[in-house]
Amino acid sequence: MNDDRPHIEYIGVRKRYGRSNWVVSDLDLRVRRGEFLTLLGPSGSGKTTCLMMLAGFEAPSAGEIRINGETVDGLPPDKRGIGVVFQNYALFPHMTVGGNLAFPLEVRGMAEPERRERVDQALALVRMEGFADRRPDQLSGGQQQRIAIARALVFEPDLVLMDEPLGALDRRLREELQYEIRRIQQQLGVTVVYVTHDQQEAMAMSDRVAVFRAGRIEQAAAPEVLYEEPQRAFVASFIGENNLLPGRIISINRGVCAVEVNGRQIEASHVGNLPAGAETLVAIRPERVKVTREAGHFANEHEARVEDISFLGDHLRVRLSVCGNSSFIAKIPNIVGHGGILPGDLVNVGWAALDCRALEAESS
């Protein structure tokens, strides 16, 4: 099989219900074979609709979806051969675990001995051997979701869709299952399209994350790229934490621009093609901000006043007034010599020009 060809393509896909606003607009996205792609966004941003159109439960209002280069327009879900994992597990309560897993094999007409073998393999894959005779309501939430994952894989689809599969679980279980899902995906080499609103989950599991906002993809990239090089202010604030300072670009010089923020000047990386004079948002990661008593180390250095401090174990979270902005956050790692800073102190904050990005100002 030609691995260069994308497994899934969304081409100009749009969707709306009735005459409402576009739930998804102008979606263009390609997914590689064997890729773990996460659709990340706040609720109502259209990510689940994208997944449901791929599964065949919804039809695009315009545009086209292709799987293996062939359009799936009008193909009913039961003919697509895609595994789907739902948030509420959707295990059939009137069947045993084994019955649930055998169901997709039965409707495909597979004979009993082979069916049993496949069911056992799938149970082993999710480490639930010996649960075949239980009923779904006798299992915990985490166990139910493992079974739901096994059921979506038992008929050996090469594409599995997951719609917030861990949304109903507590944090520890969620982390455990994130690891499991990633392990299974890599073991089987299947393509996974995963929907979540939890950015940590997206970062931990994915090869690539597509950040959704109001029916559009803001940026689709590997987690490191999204974190380090956000192209838009929404991504900068949605992935991790960022200080966003509104200002105006004064001058641009080889990828670095000078931005005026409340009468102060900040040097920042120039992103996109904002011209001089344009409104901008300067994004600075709190952990890249150095809080010191003495000056003279960074391109950007400003006086600041400590407003308050929270102790969070591995780091201190300091809220400062910088450049007329009183909710500027800095994270100070809890290491020897983090300095006895107290609220009300006057300090210096500094950061490198590379660590802050001048992004297009947008109405949020």
Partner 1 sequence: MRIKGPRATAVALTLPLLAFIGLSFVAPLGTLLSKSAYDPNVANILPRTLAALDGWSGGGLPAEAAFAAIAEELPKARQARTLVRVAGPVNRLKSGLRRVLARTARQVEKTEYAGSWRAALIGIDPAWQEPDTWLAIQAAGARFTLRHYLQALDLERRPDGDIGLRPEQSRIYVPLLWRTLLVSLGVTLLCLAIGYPIAHLIATSPPKRSNLLLLMVLVPFWTSLLVRTTAWIVLLQRQGVINSLLVSMGITPDGERLELIYNMTGTFTAMTHVLLPFMVLPLYSVMRSIPPTHMAAAASLGANPVQGFLRVYLPQTLPGIGAGGLLVFILAIGYYITPALVGGRSGQLISNMIAYHVQTSLNWGLAAALSSILLVAVIGLYLIYSRLIGIDRVRLS
Residues at the contact surface with partner 1, assessed by CB under 8 A: 55-57, 76-78, 80-84, 86, 88, 90, 92-94, 103-104, 107-108, 151-152, 155
Our CB check for partner 1 shows the closer of 112 and 176 to be 112
The encoded tokens of residue 237 equal: 């604030």
Alpha-carbon separation of residue 363 from 165, 279, 281 (angstroms): 32, 11, 11
Nearer residue to partner 1 within complex by CB, 78 or 241: 78
Residue 69, classed as helix, strand or coil, is coil
For residue 31, the minimal CB distance to partner 1 (Å) is 18
Amino acid letter for position 173: L
Distance, in Å, from the CA atom of 345 to the CA atom of 328, rounded to the nearest integer, reads 15
Closest CB 29 distance from partner 1, rounded Å: 20
Coil, helix or strand for 107? coil
Least distance to partner 1, CB of residue 109, Å? 10
DSSP letter, residue 80 = T
- SS3 of residue 29 by DSSP: strand
Residue whose CB is less far from partner 1, 107 or 276: 107
Shortest Å, Cβ 257 to partner 1: 49
- CB-nearer residue toward partner 1: 134 or 305: 134
- Which residue number, 32 or 80, has a Cβ lying nearer to partner 1? 80
Nearer to partner 1 by Cβ, of 77 and 141: the residue is 77
**Nearest approach, Cβ of 122 to partner 1 (angstroms)?**
12
Element (H, E) at 311: strand 300-311
Q: Measure the CA angle with vertex 171, ends 167 and 176; round to 5°.
A: 95
Q: Token pair for residue 70?
A: 């062939």
Rounded Cα distance, 97 and 195, in Å: 25
The answer to whether 70 and 44 have CB atoms below 8 angstroms apart is no
19/94 with CB nearer partner 1: 94
Contacts 24+ apart (CB under 8 A), 341-344: 341/291, 341/306, 341/309, 341/316, 342/306, 342/309, 343/306, 343/307, 343/308, 343/309, 344/305, 344/306
Question: Minimum distance between the CB of residue 97 and partner 1, rounded to whole angstroms?
Answer: 14
**Nearer to partner 1 by C-beta: 56 or 223?**
56
DSSP 8-state assignment for residue 200: H
Shortest Å, Cβ 104 to partner 1? 4
Q: Cα 136 to the chain's mean position, in Å?
A: 30
**What is the smallest separation between the CB atom of 186 and partner 1, expressed in angstroms?**
22
